[in-house]
Amino acid sequence: MGKEHQSTYWRSLNQLANNDEYKKFVEREFPENATELTDGLSRRNFLTIMGASVALAGLTACRKPVVKILPHSRQPEFMVPGIPMHYATVMPFKDYVSGLLVTNNEGRPTKIEGNDLHPESDGATNSFHQAALLDLYDRDRSRYVRRNGEKSDWNAFLEFASDHFSNRTQRLLFISEANSSPTYQSLKSKALSAFANAEWVTYEPFSDENVLTGVSRAFGQKLRPVNHFDKAKVVVSLDADFMSQEDNNVQNVKRYAKSRKLNGTDSDMSRLYVVEANYSLTGSNADHRLQLKPSKVAPFLYALAAELSASVSGLNAFSGYRNEFSQHSWVAALAEDLRTNAGKSILTAGSDYSPEVHAAVAAINKALGNDGETIEYLELPHADSENQTEKFANAVRGMQNGDYDTVVMVGTNPAYTAYADLNFNSALSNVATTIHLSTHVDETSQNATWHINRAHFLEAWGDGFSYEGSLSAIQPMIAPLFDGKSEIEFLNAIIEGEDVSGHELVRNFWLSQPGGSDAQWQTALHDGLVKGTRFSSRSVSIVPGFAPFIQEALSTPVQTTDDIELIIKPDPKLYDGRFANNPWLQELPDPISKITWDNVALMSANTAQKLGLADARRFGQFEHQTVSITAGNHTFEIVAWVLPGHADDTITVYAGYGRTKAGRVVNSYEGRVGNISQETVGVDVFKARTTVNPLFTENVSVSSTGNTYEVATTQDHHSMEGRPFILEASLAEFKENPNFAPQIAGVYSGQLDETEESWYTTGAAPINLHNTRTFPEREPQWGMTIDLNSCIGCGVCSIACQAENNIPVVGKREVRRGREMHWIRTDRYFSGDDANPTVAHQPVPCMHCEQAPCEQVCPVAATTHSDDGLNQMTYNRCIGTRYCANNCPFKVRRFNFFNYPKEFLTTGEDTEVIQMAMNPDVTIRFRGVMEKCTYCVQRISRAKINTRNKTGNSVKPPDGAVKTACQQACPADAIEFGDLTDENSRVSVAKRDSRNYFLLEYLNIRPRTSYLAKVRNPNPNIA
């Protein structure tokens, strides 16, 4: 997007920050209303300030609007009303940041894209990044400081802090979320040195502590393993959902997709094995998937290591070890594949597995020579020596015992996420003074002495390291909407007792660093990162302590029971609940189960049968049976959901739901969630998670309750019914017949006998009543391809589209009625054996058929074809007969059954806040109007205008100038979009691929969107 849009990054703030007027302006906050104009500040003065600096261009319009809107008296540089500006920043998530490029319209951020200068995001995003925008405009965010629940303010807190923290010997505990920020880390050491009796715990409910500990057991040092999937030929994942739930998933997917990219029949692709219980997104992309209970994963790994030890040196610790998996067909096959691809393989395990597992994984990778090839081990400057999970448990026990006078919690929400056996809430009440910095008055804040309202990262200054260590700066896109404070401002206030702006803190820290300079700082702001920075890579070797450590693990007898194991995983959408109040994410269907607005107990059909639950779900069944699960002292009721391919005797539940204090989306969404019987969205399962084994809970009793509960899914049917929607072949089959996809599509349609080629490849259009031209004689002609071999099915395209096109959220009740509004959906099909099915994903947007059935039937010509081949919707003309939607073979049209945008954007208080998230280039659709994918026509138009401005006559933008929102967000680069009249455009090249095929070719509707068939790479040795 950048270049064509006169991308102007924020480069002059330093200057501006030294501008006194600007400083004054920021300190005072912005005038809430024009009454201030009357007392002392004349209108002329006000206008002078308004026009004084570029900062105002970035900041004035972004506040909650002043009552009177005043024009700029002088046009600030770069700022052209209606032309969005793009600024680089990064999003912190756990202990790493991802590079983003934020679109600002008149000072309000409206869209988040990946920063293509940032190596880890490389222009792509995941759902969390996309949805962060709505978190910024979350009206339920806390707006003021609270003391014992009463309204207070920041100054009162400062006063309190300077007094309270003047006692430097008090027993002080910091509980902080993971944070890679060097400024933050410097404040942390400052705090630890300032307070003699202070302790610091970094707490994340789902952390990579075990990975780091495991690696340190193997290599003697806490190092972060980074998997270079792009260099791997064989990837074995032991319950590591590296595409979704594990850290750094954008880059993982980027790299993985690269290793699977096919360019003709000569290309090779990697092979992915997944061993897991739950059907994860990664598992759904596996060439081979083995169902295994989590308790069996470690034995499986040891058996594999033992098998490998026979032929690979460096695994002596395992030699001779035997267990139930030693004879398993997978162990032999995996060992062979890993051995043949030594140095080009990756073995990875889920971060919740024990340090022993990660130590073994590290040892095997080392033995295979993968270190330094496909796996890099990076030094983490912010890594703690102690295992933070254990430290957190001890600290909470200490709180319980009254060991602390004051607890300061920076971010994080332990009252909700902490292990159940720690009784965090009662521990919290045993501490005299508790201070919590949080965006919401959440479960923790409501019990804290002080609640400090936190600024969102899009409105705060900060910095951080990306997963691989690119030093990056966080710059605000907007002044804090609710006067929140960032974590560094908060921490600084506690240490120093005074208020220093985040900008000063970060900048001063950067300047104080070796090599720190103003130029570096400005470039970092412009680019979003300091180029070339990276954590240092370490070469590793097995330490002597590894063998005894692993021997101990091997000698621990493995208990084999048929008891049900309860796995608690972070949710693919809400993660640990931190995104719970985000309606975009709540309404995004789970990539595998396609459930929205709820978590369920995922289990296999056998397990369901064992529990006496009813047979398979019927088409059109919305009420589902619930089960009561007792784990330890906690019992909860949750819907039982049969997920084909889930391992037997295990139940997976996603955490992040059932939050009691998350905000209105979760606790009383004013839209049409309507008839859900409970007060929260979903069920809290953290209460069943203990320190004994955070990964899974044994000794669980499950029983059917006889109750039912309504679940809203976006897909009710799960088989493709043998229809040629997703076409796939094995790599060998593909090499044999590269044209398999168009042939199958044609033969199925009855257009071809088996020897003929698709009309599209031969160029001979089929008999046609209307016009025989494939394209109108006009340039450009837009088209799209979606490579099903790259698509992993994550669903980020849906959210990106939702953000770009102002698509409303409709709520659970409407989704349950089948009225979700996503313009691009991801269809997920199961195929093969019921007990062990394979999964394929297919994103389906509007196909922009050249002979669109929808256009034919609209009585008022509200949907028509444009000269550049778009199937357009004229909202103003639409009367809402829904005939077009009926006649759409792909069912991609979406109808506003109610006034969804009105409910989404104007219900409740402070509606102007959420309205700020809307893209001004896209119309808000009224009730009764049909809508659908437009190929991001607003982006096309902007590119055309820019091209016209540059060239004077052409409206044919260069290839790559137009990227649709889905394409831009996609981490797998599955989507190509561009001009079909340009022979060399990426989309034209993709369309010439032998795997290119059309859906429902026999209807002769000639879709502009086509698919590239999926190719799997199975191991011939595994049947």
Partner 1 sequence: MSQTTGQVTEQPLFDGNHSFGSITRLISDIPQQETPKWWYIAFGISNLLMGLLIAMLVYLIWEGTGVWGLNNPVGWGWAIVNFVWWVGIGHAGTLISAILFLFRQGWRTAINRFAEAMTIFAVMCAGIFPAVHVGRIWVIYYVFPLPNSMQMWPNFSSPLLWDVFAVGTYFTVSTLFWFVGLVPDLATMRDKVKGKLAKSLYGFFALGWTGGNRSWQNYEKAYMLLAGLATPLVLSVHTIVSFDFAVSVIPGWHTTIFPPYFVAGAIFSGFAMVMTLMLIARKIYGLEDIMNIKVIEKMNIIILVTGWMVGFAYIMEFFIAWYSGVEYEKFAFINRAFGPYAWAYWIMMTCNVITPNFFWFKRFRTSITMSFILSIIVNIGMWFERFVITVTSLAQDFVPAAWGYYSPTWVDILTYVGTFGLFFTFFLLFLRFLPMVAIAEVKMELPQAKVEYYANGNSDKDSANN
Report the distance separating Cα 412 and Cα 396, nearest Å.
14
CB of 583 to partner 1, least distance (A): 18
For residues 884, 888, 893 and 896, what is the CA-based torsion angle, rounded to 10 degrees?
40
Among 880, 908, 958, 1018, which residue sits at the site for partner 1 (rule: CB under 8 A)? 880
CB of 623 to partner 1, least distance (A): 12
Between 732 and 860, name the residue whose CB sits nearer to partner 1.
860
DSSP letter string, 97-113: EEEEEEEEETTEEEEEE
Burial of residue 483 (CB within 10 Å: 0-12, 13-18, 19+) is middle
Between 343 and 853, name the residue whose CB sits nearer to partner 1.
853
Helix (H) or strand (E) holding 895: strand 894-895
Among 608, 858, 937, 990, which residue sits at the site for partner 1 (rule: CB under 8 A)? 858
Among 739, 1002, 1019, 1022, which residue sits at the site for partner 1 (rule: CB under 8 A)? 1002
| Structure-block tokens of residue 652 | 């997976």
- CA atoms within 13 Å, Cβ hemisphere of 1001: 27
Among 860, 906, 912, 941, which residue sits at the site for partner 1 (rule: CB under 8 A)? 860
Between 688 and 930, name the residue whose CB sits nearer to partner 1.
930
Stretch that binds partner 1, among 535-543, 544-552, 614-622, 635-643 (CB under 8 A): 614-622
Binding mask of the shown chain, residues 952 to 991, with x at each position contacting partner 1 by CB under 8 A: ----------------------------------------
DSSP letter string, 834-886: SSS-EEEEEEE-----TT-HHHHH-TT--EEE-TTS-EEE-TTT-----HHHH
Among 916, 929, 943, 980, which residue sits at the site for partner 1 (rule: CB under 8 A)? 929
Is residue 408 within 8 Å of 222, Cβ to Cβ? no
Report the distance separating Cα 521 and Cα 287, nearest Å.
45
Q: How many positions of this chain bind partner 1 (CB under 8 A)?
A: 62
Binding to partner 1 in span 714-743, by CB under 8 A: 715-723, 725
Between 346 and 849, name the residue whose CB sits nearer to partner 1.
849
Stretch that binds partner 1, among 287-295, 467-475, 477-485, 883-891 (CB under 8 A): 883-891
Measured CA distances, 501 to 242, 408, 457, 770 (Å)? 37, 20, 14, 67
Binding of partner 1 by 828 (CB under 8 A) = yes
Among 889, 908, 920, 1018, which residue sits at the site for partner 1 (rule: CB under 8 A)? 889
Measured CA distances, 124 to 9, 112, 824, 918 (Å)? 19, 10, 17, 21
CB of 755 to partner 1, least distance (A): 18
Binding of partner 1 by 399 (CB under 8 A) = no
- CA atoms within 13 Å, Cβ hemisphere of 269: 26
Binding of partner 1 by 844 (CB under 8 A) = yes
Is residue 970 within 8 Å of 3, Cβ to Cβ? no
Among 193, 426, 541, 856, which residue sits at the site for partner 1 (rule: CB under 8 A)? 856
Report the distance separating Cα 961 and Cα 945, nearest Å.
11
Radius of gyration of the chain (CA): 28
Between 87 and 895, name the residue whose CB sits nearer to partner 1.
895
Report the distance separating Cα 581 and Cα 19, nearest Å.
38
Stretch that binds partner 1, among 75-83, 389-397, 615-623, 794-802 (CB under 8 A): 615-623
Between 78 and 1002, name the residue whose CB sits nearer to partner 1.
1002
Is residue 823 within 8 Å of 769, Cβ to Cβ? no
Binding mask of the shown chain, residues 895 to 924, with x at each position contacting partner 1 by CB under 8 A: xxxxx-------------------------
Binding of partner 1 by 766 (CB under 8 A) = no
Between 473 and 809, name the residue whose CB sits nearer to partner 1.
809
Report the distance separating Cα 382 and Cα 221, nearest Å.
13
Among 151, 817, 950, 992, which residue sits at the site for partner 1 (rule: CB under 8 A)? 817
CB of 672 to partner 1, least distance (A): 8
CB of 903 to partner 1, least distance (A): 10
Stretch that binds partner 1, among 88-96, 369-377, 795-803, 859-867 (CB under 8 A): 859-867
CB of 749 to partner 1, least distance (A): 8
Binding of partner 1 by 773 (CB under 8 A) = no
Among 74, 508, 879, 1021, which residue sits at the site for partner 1 (rule: CB under 8 A)? 879
CB of 622 to partner 1, least distance (A): 8
Binding of partner 1 by 239 (CB under 8 A) = no
Measured CA distances, 517 to 464, 511, 968 (Å)? 17, 5, 33
Stretch that binds partner 1, among 399-407, 470-478, 888-896, 975-983 (CB under 8 A): 888-896
What are the start-end ranges of the E strands in 14-157? 85-93, 96-105, 108-114, 146-147, 150-151
Between 382 and 617, name the residue whose CB sits nearer to partner 1.
617
| Structure-block tokens of residue 562 | 């048929």
CB of 872 to partner 1, least distance (A): 13
Report the distance separating Cα 267 and Cα 261, nearest Å.
8
Between 621 and 703, name the residue whose CB sits nearer to partner 1.
621
3-state SS string for 655-711: ECCCCCCCCHHHHCCCCCCCCCCCCCCCCCCHHHCCCCCCCEECCEEEEEEEEEEEC
Between 160 and 725, name the residue whose CB sits nearer to partner 1.
725
CB of 246 to partner 1, least distance (A): 27
Among 894, 939, 991, 995, which residue sits at the site for partner 1 (rule: CB under 8 A)? 894
Report the distance separating Cα 778 and Cα 867, nearest Å.
7
Report the distance separating Cα 488 and Cα 168, nearest Å.
19
- Comparing C-alpha atoms, which of 120, 235, 153 is closest to residue 472? 120
CB of 819 to partner 1, least distance (A): 6
- Comparing C-alpha atoms, which of 371, 375, 492, 484 is closest to residue 136? 484
Binding of partner 1 by 829 (CB under 8 A) = yes
Stretch that binds partner 1, among 289-297, 680-688, 761-769, 890-898 (CB under 8 A): 890-898
Helix (H) or strand (E) holding 506: helix 502-512
Is residue 73 within 8 Å of 48, Cβ to Cβ? yes
Between 91 and 712, name the residue whose CB sits nearer to partner 1.
712
Binding of partner 1 by 890 (CB under 8 A) = yes
Among 928, 958, 960, 1018, which residue sits at the site for partner 1 (rule: CB under 8 A)? 928
| Structure-block tokens of residue 896 | 């506003």
* Sign, CA torsion 190/192/198/204: positive
CB of 573 to partner 1, least distance (A): 19
Which residues have CB under 8 Å from 547's CB, separation 6+?
A: 316, 317
DSSP code for 406:
E
Binding to partner 1 in span 629-658, by CB under 8 A: none
3-state SS string for 961-1002: CCCCHHHHHCCCCCEEEEECCCCCCHHHHHHCCCCEECCCHH
CB of 97 to partner 1, least distance (A): 36
Binding to partner 1 in span 698-717, by CB under 8 A: 715-717
Binding of partner 1 by 284 (CB under 8 A) = no
Which residues have CB under 8 Å from 982's CB, separation 6+?
A: 780, 956, 959, 988
b (16+ CB within 10 A) / e for 323-335: bebeebebbbbbb
Among 820, 973, 976, 979, which residue sits at the site for partner 1 (rule: CB under 8 A)? 820
Residues that bind partner 1 in the complex, under the rule CB under 8 A: 618-620, 715-723, 725, 748, 750, 814, 817-820, 825, 827-829, 842, 844, 853, 856-861, 877-883, 885-887, 889-891, 894-899, 926-930, 999-1000, 1002-1003, 1005
